[in-house]
Chains A and B, each alone.
Chain A
Amino acid sequence: MEKPRSEVVLYGTWASAYCTRVQLALKLKGIAYEYVEEDLTNKSESLLHYNPVHKKVPVLVHKGKPIAESLVILEYIDDCWNNSPNLLPLDPYQRAKVRFWANFYDQKIIPSSYAVVLSKGKEQENAIKEFNELLTVLEEGIEKDFSTKFPFNGEREALGFLDIVVGAHACNYRALEEAVAVVVEPKEHPAFLSWVTKLKEYPLMKETLPPHDKLAARMRERFSLAPKRNIATL
């Protein structure tokens, strides 16, 4: 039997944006935790025990009780440690809007980004086109729904729920572009890129995101394509 773990344990992988989200939330709230790096080709008994349904990371284990699914984990962290800063806004209507866009990002934007990296030629061109259309929907929607631009939790400096959900994934876009293809046209999405750029500069984000070169190398390896140089610059 393995040694007893700390009160808060996160099972994750370094390259997973879903895991980065949880690390950001824990750090933001000042929660001490133990991190366990999983090898997804050889999943630990603990992971299979704590997430028997999906057998995936991230899994947060708090006092021996597991929580799976990154958005569910983020809400749990906010519910359980309701100290400042709040991840979600306090007003129910604002919360609904944040949840809506978090779901949109996960259900539309992320799958679309996968479609880009997993396709080639004409198919990839179409996938990039669709991805950019979805980004436009996201940009325009967020502008309409929220009165503040960045961060999305209002007046204060700390990251909010959407910053975490989007940032953990979007801030890696340069690594993706280096490894696979230019995906985001700067001229088409200045608002989105401005948001992502600000997020990347945020100290907590800088220290938590996977290292660029390591991630780019892994994406190249994973998507079996020669390295491409990004011509467009911000």
Chain B
Amino acid sequence: MAEEEVKVFRTWSSPFPLRVIWALKLKGVEFDTVYEDLSNKSPLLLQYNPVHKKVPVLLHNGKPICESLVILEYVDETWKQFPLLPQDPHERAKARFWAKFGDDKVFQSIVYGILFKQGKEQEEEIPRAMEILQHLEEELKGKKFFGGEKIGLVDLALGWLAYYLGIIEEVIGLKLIDQEKFPLLLQWIQEFSTAPIIQENWPPRDKLIAKFAASREAALARGLK
């Protein structure tokens, strides 16, 4: 087998590069990690992701791929072991739908609508967030993971929830999901966050709490201008 160069550009805290790291590790692909400081981006990062200047970037034999969900599809197409997407076209479409839903709706609502807001604005977003999360609760009916018996693309796409939601709840001092309304989601959080490989790759909790608290303060200050 030819020598492969696989590199992941990440930060210690961002959940998006984690998706790529999980995917590669689940597939048993060896890779190097490059940690970026986004307040001081490396020339390589700017070269490999000139459009967004963000992480993650996957570098495979010198070819850069950007945008975490695009990277996940690339990884799945390139390394066939431990498939992330099912074979059936309709099931694949459903997986892509939910991955997109996670980014467009779940992340938007919880981070931009709740974590980065306060007072009335935050209050008003909460029922919307609950409705959004209820869709995920429905989707988990009869399943251990979003991917079924095994972790799949949707689990990796939504995986940040399993760890970062608790951190966000602590930072804002509000419990967003409870056992009564979201038993399946809480069960999934438990299963996913403690699964092999996933479990070993979470960033340190205390550091994340501090970082998210700081991001919240900065966002609130910007909002008040």
Question: Is there an interface contact between B97 and A68, defined as CB atoms closer than 8 Å?
Answer: yes
Q: Is the CB of B93 within 8 A of A99?
A: no
Q: At the interface, is chain B mostly helix, strand, loop or mixed? A: helix
Chain B residues, Cβ within 8 Å of A95: 73-74, 77
Give the segment of A4-12, A70-78, A190-198 that binds chain B.
A70-78
Q: A53-B101, A92-B78 are in contact. Are A103 and B93 (CB under 8 A)?
A: no
Cβ-based interface call for B135 (8 A) = yes
Question: Is the CB of B71 closer than 8 A to any CB of chain A?
Answer: yes
Cβ of A141 under 8 Å from chain B: yes
Whether B90 sits at the interface, judged by CB under 8 Å, is: yes
Please classify how large the interface on chain B is, using the bins under 10, 10 to 19, 20 to 34, 35 or more: 20 to 34
Contact A72 B70 (CB under 8 A): no
Q: Which residues of B contact A141 (CB under 8 A)?
A: 50-51
Chain B residues in 8 Å Cβ range of A27: none
Q: Give Cα A96 to B90, complex, Å.
A: 21
A62 to B101: give the CA distance in the assembly, Å.
Answer: 21
> Interface size class for chain A?
20 to 34
Q: Is A79 an interface residue (CB 8 A)?
A: yes
Determine whether A48 belongs to the interface, using a CB cutoff of 8 Å to chain B. Answer: no
B89 in the interface, Cβ–Cβ < 8 Å?
yes
Kindly count the residue-residue contacts between A and B in the assembled complex, taking CB atoms under 8 Å apart: 60
| Pair B70/A100 contact, Cβ less than 8 Å | yes
B100:A72 contact, CB within 8 angstroms: yes
Question: In angstroms, how far is the closest chain B Cβ from the Cβ of A18?
Answer: 13
Query: Per DSSP, are chain A's interface residues mostly helix, strand or loop, or mixed?
Result: helix
Name the contact of B67 in the complex, choosing from A62, A103, A137 (C-beta under 8 A).
Answer: A103
Chain A positions within 8 Å of B135 at CB level: 53
Question: Complex formed: what's the CA distance from A80 to B73 in Å?
Answer: 17
Q: Which residues of B lie under 8 Å from residue A99 when comparing CB positions?
A: 67, 70, 73
Q: Which of chain A's residues has its CB closest to B58's CB?
A: A96
Say yes or no: A103 contacts B70, CB within 8 Å: yes
Residue of A with least CB distance to B95 = A72
Q: Can you name the residue of chain B whose Cβ is closest to the Cβ of A104?
A: B51
Shortest beta-carbon distance, A89 to chain B, in Å?
11
Decide: A72 near B93, CB < 8 A? Known: A93-B63, A93-B65: yes
Is A76 in contact with B51, judged by CB distance below 8 angstroms? Answer: no
> What separation, in Å, do the CA atoms of A127 and B96 have in the docked complex?
31
* Least CB separation from A67: chain B residue: B93
Most buried by B among A72, A75, A141: A72
A79 to B77: give the CA distance in the assembly, Å: 13
A109 to B166, CA, bound (A): 34
Bound together, the chains give a CA A95 to CA B78 distance in angstroms of: 11
Let me know if A65 is at the binding interface, CB within 8 A. yes
Residues of B within 8 A of A68 (CB): 97
Would you call B66 an interface residue if the criterion is a C-beta within 8 Å of the partner chain's C-beta atoms?
Answer: yes
Most buried by B among A62, A69, A100, A137: A100
A103 to B89, CA, bound (A): 21
Compute how far the CA of A67 lies from the CA of B94 in the bound complex, rounded to whole angstroms.
7
Q: If A68-B97, A141-B51 touch, does A96 touch B65 (CB 8 Å cutoff)?
A: yes
CA distance A122 to B94 in the complex (A): 43
Contact of A76 among B73, B74, B93 (CB under 8 A): B93
Contacting pair B89 A80 (CB below 8 A):
yes
**Contact status A96-B71, CB under 8 Å:** yes
Please, could you name 15 A-B residue pairs with CB atoms under 8 Å apart, sorted by A?
A: A67-B97, A68-B97, A69-B97, A71-B100, A72-B100, A79-B93, A80-B90, A92-B77, A95-B74, A95-B77, A96-B71, A103-B70, A104-B51, A137-B51, A141-B51
